[in-house]
Amino acid sequence: MQMDAQIRERDRLISLDRYDVLDTPSEEGFDRITRLTRRLFGVSMSTITFIDGHRLWFKSQQGMAMGQTSKEEAFCDTVIRGTGPLVVSDTLADTRYSHNPFVLGDPHIRFYAGVPLRTPDGHNIGTLSAMDSKPRDVEETDLQVLSDLASIVMDELELRMTASTDELTGALSRRAFREEAGRAIALALRHGHELSCVCFDLDHFKSINDGHGHAMGDLVLRESVATCIETLRQSDLLGRMGGEEFAILLPHTGPATAMKVAEKVRAAVAGLPIIGTNGKIPVSASFGVSTLGQGVCDIDELLKRADIALYSAKTSGRNKCVEWVDAETAPPVVRRRVLKAGVISFNGGRSAIDCTVRNLSPVSAGLDVINVNDVPQRFKLQIKSDALYRACRIVAKRERHVEVEFW
């Protein structure tokens, strides 16, 4: 039975990974559904949630301020393990949930109704939930409406898979960028051409949204992309990878030229004349650059190295360009992209932290966690679906992610 559960969870994560939805920017199609759910049920909160190996990640939320949280003790995790809706009319009157931290603390859930987001092949990858801070009852017809809305969420996901451009900015969607980049890398490897990748992230973007409103934040995103397109060649690829995160692929471009291109784009973004209600809004971005070769043969490794360099640019002052260098903090082993549930075990097996394995090789791995500060320098990693159990040491860490080597 335990092995069957592990196989089901493995297949569920594979199904989730196909949609490439985790950590993607907000989209009006999904926000419209949570707004509608909130109005139809008269509740204070509604979410569209996807669940990987260690967390709940909210693609859309109304009435809540969390971006992600541990799946431990979460209502949504219970929903995906069942076959139908979960309804808790009064959480404090239900012994299963009366001591739940999401009931006793923020967001103080007293009523919960959730239905699974089920893929065509039968896997529950997330939930559509309606919640309130006071008890309430629901009718069977209400649950049918919630199920219909969940089906619309899945229809939206299927449509999103076919979209090639980001609706807000006009950049390539993340999926389209990865597909186009994969073809460009294959050509470069076949013919021995140079190729580079640039990842960049707008600095202090949250403060723009918070201080000037989301409409102004959207304008900054659109203008930043527009100035990038004006600066780049037609053969270059530009994709939106996350909320304010972008990637550029530069065919026939070596590291020195890629750094010059990154610097040119950085200067163009920093010079944007974005005017808010209180005058000019300062806009800048941080850049990381990586190049094909030296153990890099796919887009995942190329993006990972550029992202490490980007993180270095962020931590060393922002609004600058940094090139990836082969160092102890960035092991050059090529790993395959995966989405697997893992467990970090330490203190002689007495302590455990759920994680999601995002990339893996015979000698190393990249792990996502809720809080890197909770992870010790040395631990044991277990991937039950692969019957893998390895002693690890951390070689690099950044926000919610650790790179480890097996030993």
| Cβ count within 10 A of residue 5 | 12
Q: Is 353 exposed, middle or buried (0-12, 13-18, 19+ CB in 10 A)?
A: buried
Alpha helices, DSSP H, located in 280-321: 299-315
Phi/psi zone of residue 165: left (φ > 0), alpha (ψ -120 to 50 degrees), beta? beta
Cβ pair 340, 386 in contact under 8 A? yes
Cβ count within 10 A of residue 79: 25
List Cβ neighbours of 305 (8 Å cut-off, separation of 6 or more): 197, 288, 290, 296, 324, 330
For residue 202, give every residue at least 6 positions away whose Cβ sits within 8 Å of its Cβ, in sequence order, or none: 208, 220, 221, 224, 244, 269, 283, 284, 285
The tokens for 372 are 């890197």
The distance of Cα 177 from the centroid of its chain, to the nearest Å, equals: 16
| Positions marked catalytic | 244
| Count of Cβ atoms closer than 10 Å to residue 261 Cβ | 21
Residue 11 amino acid letter: D
Give the β-pairing of 321-323 and 285-291. parallel
